[in-house]
Structure 1
Amino acid sequence: MTAIFYFLSIILGFLGSLMLPTALIAISAGHSDLAEEFLLTAGLTGFLSGGVFFALRGQEKELVNAQTYLLCILVWIGLPFVAAFPFVISGQLSGINALFEAVSGLTTTGASMFRTLEEVPTAIIFWRSILQWFGGFLTLLTFLLILAPNGVGGLPNRHIGMMERAFGEESGRTFYVARQVGGAYAILTLILAWLLILSGIPPFEAMCLAFSTLSTGGFMPIDGTLASYDNRWAEFLIALGMIAGATSIFWHRMAVRGKLQMLTEHRESYYLFGLMAGLGLLYSVTLFRLAGSASVLPPLSALRQGFFTAVSLVSTAGFEIRHADVTVLPGLLVACLALIGATPFSTAGGLKLYRIGAMLMQAGREVGRLIYPHSIRGGRFGKTEYTIQLMKSIWASFLLSILLVIVVAVVLSHDIGHFDGALFAAISAFSNIGPLYSAGWNATNAWPDYYQLSLISKYALIITMIFGRFEIIVLLGAININFWRR
């Protein structure tokens, strides 16, 4: 347990340090009382995390067996309570609403309890955005250090050595990976923010958009959609940022290092690009057809809106150029695409293309076995060979995820009053694409907003958002006594 509390104190301290720039934002906006509250919370968090860190600094810090699972659970369940505190002390949200907002931020879901941002202090808006950015970083670390090394849900681990090859000491692996990922993640965010400022977006809003884009979160710093800026370059940059957030960090690393052979073998990213392109074309044609004429929606505008909507949906970011663009396609198709998500080792949510590709490949093999019973054929996805054990893990993860979505949808259906609305809310929470539920599917506004849901529904969505990030199998492993004994 010593290692668990040690690493937990570091993560808690990092979260507390994010309150310092938020306090500076409050001071610059003239909200001195709010700045004092952020500084006080940061001080208390730093005192607690620092005390634990220095007390355990000389102790054994190797995580074994289910300890990594327990650390993952404590991080994703415990941090939101600390992150929710600023919402409470500022008086903007209270109780369960503040916890919902914090969980939505850290899990990069983007579902909000705020009715409008017009009266919300800039520091709180910044805090929401930086929570999403930090949540995206935690998501990457969760994949790299816990889920993939343990083979959770059949996630691939063939490229993890790229993050560790330059560092031989096993005890420092966690810090080395965190520095590598965190450095690249921060640099990309700063570059995107700088480019957005050059495109004409105000600096504060550009930084908030950069936080939400790279994390594929979807929180907007203003009311409305991106159309409020009327900035084509900003829309293009945000689309590129969402693509970067939805693709694997290993693909980025191989591209930077010029490893062309490995780039061609990493097929998930190319399937992702193909899916975005095909879906974007479908959205563009549908939007143009619904507009009726080129005078209402010019072809280039239809292409711009269509491809942006496709990228936003597949990356599970949830940004919109025009409200309800995502709803022009059949709801079942959109729900399935949102449930699939993007690639592993990205900040995007969903089941991941890797798993869907594995299940489709296995289905093809089984059909081929029916036609040619005595044939021997392997199954590969790039360099990855799909074994029976791997497929068992993938199918188990898929089944548990679908069961979770169905159970949550049933729970929500009584409150929402429509099963289709409950299903969209459950999928939006699990795939961490909260704005999807609020995209305007129901013209009569019969679906309640997030802040109008009952207490039970809010708790159900909070649990679903968290499970969407650390996998249900992790919880089952952490509470399995036999797993601890081994």
Structure 2
Amino acid sequence: MIGFLQRLPVLVILAAVTALMMMIPAANASVAGHAAIARNFFYAGLLILVFCGLIGIATQANPRPPRSRATLLTMLGVYGILPPLMALPFAESLPDTGFFNAWWEMVSSLTTTGASLYSADLLPMPLHLWRAVVGWMGGLFVLVAAVAILAPLRVGGFEIMSNPYGREEYREALPQSADPRRPVLHLSDPGFDRRGEAPSHRLAQAALQIGPVYAGLTLALWVGLLLMGDPSFLALMRAMGTLSTSGISPVIGPSGAVSGIGGEVLVFLFLIPALSRRFWPGGGELRATDRLSTDPELRMALSLIVLVSLVLFLRHFLGAIEVDADEALSPSGIGAALAALWGGLFSALSYLTTTGWTSVEWAGAQAWSGLSAPGLILAGLAMMGGGIATTAGGVKLLRVYALARHGQREMERIIHPHSVSGGGRIARRLRREGAYLAFIFFMLFAISIALVVTLVSIHAIEFETATILSIAALTNAGPLAGAIPLTPVFEGTAGIASAPWEGWSGLPDFTKAVLAAAMVLGRIETLAVLALMSPEFWRR
């Protein structure tokens, strides 16, 4: 049986897993009294399982040897083939929405973007659960694919830490620095050379390592939110949306309104794994340092979060809002100040990890800062993104760190032209080859934003609205469109359950298609897509 599964195409296995996951909302709908929705999910899952079985039997007669180019095509096929399958029961449960809108919703969920066309209060709870399950599976797939697919191809951020100029560092060591430490195993080690191995086998191994940790953290956060007072369904949705950084919520407004700041503290802690791959199994090759306190991604994230929070907090005292001194020093004034500070901290981390949760105190933080458009700061955080090879989107913190260290080194050379920098082999690599590749990716990311904005602006959509929608799609931070006031565009409809204008509902079909492609591009990353277009990639 194991040999049979290993010979199956990866997409067939993932489609079968998707069909099995459809039984979760089917069971929930049956218990909640939504018999029609339960039948839709059960029959759709059963139909997909039958087709997967038939395709699996047909492929056993003529098995194909594994090829290196099939791995990246598998990742692209996941976002091209699975969303239509996931949209089948969703479209049947909302007959007036149309299959195209259901497909768009599933693309948004699977890429962990979390943008929705539907109002939370009009969508049945089983459909909310299916959106969260799809987003949760999308987050798990990103973690697994980073090790099993992107690492052997040296893309997706792994190129930053790969060996420069083909140097075999595991055999030919670099000179010891002034601060020697234990050598770190790199992707140039033969243990990471898995190009000839079947993609299904690599994915299965990575899933067995990451899956239990991913599910365990989700369960722990669910239980913690239950203890904080959240209803069971809301706590489950928040737990899955946090670990996958999809930001999918079944309620309008801040999802932490019930549990309050206590629940947000828990979510805050469980968002930290989206800042660095070192918190997940299989991320040892991306560790720039052995110690947690000196991790460059975590230090960069801490600096950004503290800086944004202090800017929002201290601007109140710089003359943005005139407040009586006695009122500001009163107990109520101190409480409002601390609440505004927490609102800035939580929202900064949430958007840095491209989750998109907004704190229950975010409105107070906005009023406290006195800024007319503080949401633009959140857009900047979303563009920077979280850790390499995590569920977060954006440019990624390690690339930003490499560019920052390169700039620092260039300034040092201006002052001391003959200076020699230390920091170890990985630090030198980040300042040189890593910064070069990071700059290339940053330029490609900027070109992608310009291209998407141009395509979105074909219709009568204002430039500011098109820019925010494009950034939200490419960074996989869908709730960003709801955090910044945008101009409505009512040219389309997603049915009776359509949401009021929050950046996505009412867009033309062409614009939705462009933004869906941008979500997939942001999830796979531009370098991987360019690798697919290379003639050498398709050469036998």
Shorter-chain TM-score category?
0.7 to 0.9
1: distance between equivalents of 2:235 and 2:377?
32
Per-residue deviation, 1:392 = 4.3
1: distance between equivalents of 2:298 and 2:425?
12
Deviates more, 1:19-28 or 1:172-181: 172-181
The alignment status of 1:251 with 2:251, answered yes or no, reads: no
Cross-structure match for 1:107 = 111
Q: Percent identity?
A: 31
2: distance between equivalents of 1:202 and 1:469?
31
Given the superposition, is the C-alpha separation of residues 261 and 377 from structure 1 closer, same or farther in structure 2, using an over 3 Å criterion? closer
| RMSD (CA atoms) | 3.5
Cross-structure match for 2:175 = none
Cross-structure match for 1:121 = 124
1:262-319 C-alpha deviation (Å, 9 max, x unpaired): 4345321232233223323333445786595654761221122121111111111111
2: distance between equivalents of 1:50 and 1:286?
61
1:96 is aligned, of 95, 100, 113, to 100
Given the superposition, is the C-alpha separation of residues 197 and 88 from structure 1 closer, same or farther in structure 2, using an over 3 Å criterion? same
Contact 2:375/2:484 (8 A) holds in 1: no
- The 5-angstrom pairing of residues 233-272 of structure 1 reads 233-244=262-273, 246-252=274-280, 261-264=290-293, 266-272=295-301
Per-residue deviation, 1:144 = 1.5
2: distance between equivalents of 1:342 and 1:213?
13
Cross-structure match for 2:531 = 477
1:181-236 C-alpha deviation (Å, 9 max, x unpaired): 11110110011111111111111111111111111111111122235325222121
2: distance between equivalents of 1:384 and 1:200?
49
Per-residue deviation, 1:393 = 3.3
The alignment status of 1:156 with 2:185, answered yes or no, reads: no
Cross-structure match for 2:168 = none
Cross-structure match for 1:135 = 138
1:45-100 C-alpha deviation (Å, 9 max, x unpaired): 22222333455469767643322121111112221111222221111632322122
Per-residue deviation, 1:437 = 1.4
2: distance between equivalents of 1:401 and 1:369?
29
1: distance between equivalents of 2:428 and 2:298?
14
Q: Which TM-score applies when normalising by structure 1?
A: 0.87
1:281 is aligned, of 282, 304, 310, to 310
Cross-structure match for 2:173 = none
Deviates more, 1:118-127 or 1:260-269: 260-269
Contact 1:109/1:433 (8 A) holds in 2: yes
2:13 is aligned, of 2, 10, 13, to 10
2: distance between equivalents of 1:57 and 1:195?
46
Per-residue deviation, 1:177 = 1.2
Per-residue deviation, 1:482 = 2.2
Given the superposition, is the C-alpha separation of residues 121 and 68 from structure 1 closer, same or farther in structure 2, using an over 3 Å criterion? same
Cross-structure match for 2:234 = 205
Q: Match of 1:472, as an amino acid? A: T
Per-residue deviation, 1:332 = 5.2
Tell me the secondary structure at the aligned position of residue 110 of structure 1.
coil
2: distance between equivalents of 1:57 and 1:279?
56
2: distance between equivalents of 1:254 and 1:475?
23
Contact 2:386/2:396 (8 A) holds in 1: yes
Contact 2:115/2:479 (8 A) holds in 1: yes
Deviates more, 1:185-194 or 1:338-347: 338-347
Per-residue deviation, 1:338 = 1.5
Contact 2:114/2:479 (8 A) holds in 1: yes
- Long gaps (5+) in structure 1: none
2: distance between equivalents of 1:243 and 1:347?
11
Q: Which TM-score applies when normalising by structure 2?
A: 0.79
- The 5-angstrom pairing of residues 17-416 of structure 1 reads 17-56=20-59, 63-91=66-94, 93-114=97-118, 116-152=119-155, 154-156=159-161, 172-226=201-255, 228-229=257-258, 231-244=260-273, 246-252=274-280, 261-264=290-293, 266-286=295-315, 292=323, 294=328, 295=332, 298-322=336-360, 330=374, 333-377=377-421, 385-386=429-430, 390-415=434-459
Deviates more, 1:392-401 or 1:431-440: 392-401
Tell me the secondary structure at the aligned position of residue 411 of structure 1.
helix
1:125-174 C-alpha deviation (Å, 9 max, x unpaired): 1001111111111111222222233222534367687xx979x9966443
Given the superposition, is the C-alpha separation of residues 156 and 182 from structure 1 closer, same or farther in structure 2, using an over 3 Å criterion? farther
